[in-house]
Amino acid sequence: MKILVLGAGGREHALVWKLRESPLVEKIWCAPGNGGIAAEAECVAIDAGDVGAIVAFAEKVHPDLTIVGPELPLVNGLTDAFRQRNWAIVGPSQQAAQLEGSKIFSKEFLVRHGIPTAKMHGTFDTPADAYRALNSVAWPVVIKADGLCAGKGVFLAPDFADAKDFVERVMEKNELGPGGRRILLEETLEGEELSFIILTDGKRYAPLVPTRDHKRVFDGNQGPNTGGMGAYSSDELLPDDLRELIRSTIVEPTLHGLAADGIPYQGFLYIGLMLTKSGPKVLEFNCRLGDPEAQAIVARMDFDLAETLADVAAGCLEPSKMRWKPGASACVVLTSGGYPGKFETGKRIEGLTGVDNITGVRVFHAGTKLAGGTLVTNGGRVLGITAAAAALGDSLALAYAAASRIHFAGMHYRKDIGAHATHLRAAGN
């Protein structure tokens, strides 16, 4: 099998690494890839969101299977272009990708199908209407920009002044670009968050192992939101009865709803949930694997990913083939100093030699590149140090031991990935 992977982050490195393990795989291209992916696949300098360029490349090299990592190619209609040509691809259609690309589309979908979610106060096309609505909501209120805003489009507003300021920045000053033209207001939910990710061929589906990510930049969930500072996976995150409740009240109604709306869905579907006192409720959909959740998930895969994804593309997913390593995994993200604000790149990365030889440890690259044979930083999130072990504490210890060997100027990482879960265990909860 010759496979084309689209994307440039740690998620794509993890996918490429796992695909390479398959005896079925002969060749992998990655567009555009990064400094770490370059060691395992042929990187091609094409923007993953450029549908025309990706189609032209595929026309030339004829991949047997294409796998889409990030959301932009999906929202831009890449999978539709491939399917029109009968080329095998994993990822939902442009229409289905609106579940991620438009918060209003996804909220209306949830409401239409009676799927538990935060109560919506309304959707607004003008700031004046939004300000008026803010006079009659309960605080704190959640404000969501409709379109893709690079993770900056959701704001939990504590009071009217902060809410007005956000709406002003998004709708009047267009600080988030076209994604902020419309907004929605919804109630604030309380509880623990959980990511529930499934893989589906449009008919059958399989849940992946449960994960939890860490969005804030500093320990103790302080500081601004990021793309993700780390994640862990452990079966204990999801007791059997909760998994069944999520399957019956969220996953299956979602897949039935999509089918009923005439929007078949194929690929990964990430469901962000809040586990509230009155049951799990949907916060958001992503039409792809999360990053860094993907790294923690891939570390626990005990099946042939290339075969499974080819089955998905062919519409014949066999969920029972998807076996998982028992135990746990963790991914600790090393970032450039200053991220998610301003940061410098081009810093030399040292200490990587031998880290991948530690049993259970894998270093997945995100923002790295090779400059004249030297590996340097090239983004906010630089590396995802990933480890799998029999217990969560062991996987965290391995990942942190490996992280402590790596260095680049300004390097930052959270020291408390998974700590909440290990504390809960220690307290017997």
Pick the closer one to ligand AMP by CB: 297 or 306.
297
Task: Please say whether the beta carbons of 312 and 266 come within 8 A.
Answer: yes
Neighbours of 59 (CB within 10 A): 10
What are the tokens at 260?
């009923």
- Phi, psi at 46, each rounded to 5°: -125, 135
* Residue with Cβ nearer ligand AMP (45 or 138): 138
Smallest gap from residue 28 Cβ to ligand AMP (A): 30
Residue in the structure block whose two tokens are 């192992």: 209
Closer to ligand AMP by Cβ: residue 2 or 181: 181
d(CA 67, CA 5): 5
SS3 category, 79: helix
What angle is formed at CA 156 by the lines to CA 151 and CA 160, rounded to 5 degrees?
Answer: 130
What minimum distance in Å lies between the beta carbon of 383 and ligand AMP? 23
Residues that bind ligand AMP (CB under 6 A): 118, 142, 144, 154, 156, 186, 188-189, 193, 272, 283-284
Query: How near is the Cβ of 77 to ligand AMP at its closest, in Å?
Result: 22
d(CA 366, CA 385): 11
Tokens of 57: 């490349």
User: E strands of 259-348, at which residues?
Assistant: 267-276, 279-286, 328-335
- Residue with smaller CB distance to ligand AMP, 92 or 179: 179
CA 410 – CA 401 distance, rounded (Å): 19
Taking the least distance from each CB to ligand AMP, the nearer of 223 and 319 is 223
First-to-last C-alpha distance (Å) of the chain: 47
Q: Which is nearer to ligand AMP, 121 or 365 (CB)?
A: 121
Q: Closer to ligand AMP by CB, 89 or 189: give it.
A: 189
Smallest distance from the beta carbon of 179 to ligand AMP, in angstroms?
A: 12
* Tokens coding 308: 């499974």
Distance of closest approach, residue 110 Cβ to ligand AMP, in angstroms:
12
Buried/exposed code over 254-284 (b: 16+ C-beta within 10 A; e: otherwise): bbebbeeeebbbbbbbbbbbbbeeeebbbbb
* Nearer of residues 13 and 107 to ligand AMP, judged by Cβ: 107
Closest CA to 23 of 4, 55, 1: 1
Cβ nearer to ligand AMP, comparing 144 with 347: 144
Rounded to a whole number of angstroms, the minimum distance from the CB of residue 142 to ligand AMP is: 4
Q: Which residues make Cβ contacts (< 8 Å) with residue 404, sequence separation at least 6?
A: none
* In the complex, minimum distance from the CB of residue 359 to ligand AMP, in angstroms, rounded to a whole number: 33
Q: How far is the CB of 272 from ligand AMP (least distance, A)?
A: 4
Segment (H or E) for 268: strand 267-276
Which residues, 6 or more positions from 117, have their beta carbon under 8 angstroms from its beta carbon? 107, 110, 111, 281, 282, 283
CB of 286 to ligand AMP, least distance (A): 8
Find tokens 């998004």 and name the residue.
Answer: 170
Nearer to ligand AMP, 137 or 142 (CB): 142
Q: In the complex, what is the shortest distance from the CB of residue 11 to ligand AMP, in angstroms, rounded to a whole number?
A: 17
- 9 vs 202, beta carbon nearer ligand AMP: 9
Eight-class DSSP state of 269:
E
Partners of 145 in the β-ladder = 183
Q: How far is the CB of 186 from ligand AMP (least distance, A)?
A: 5
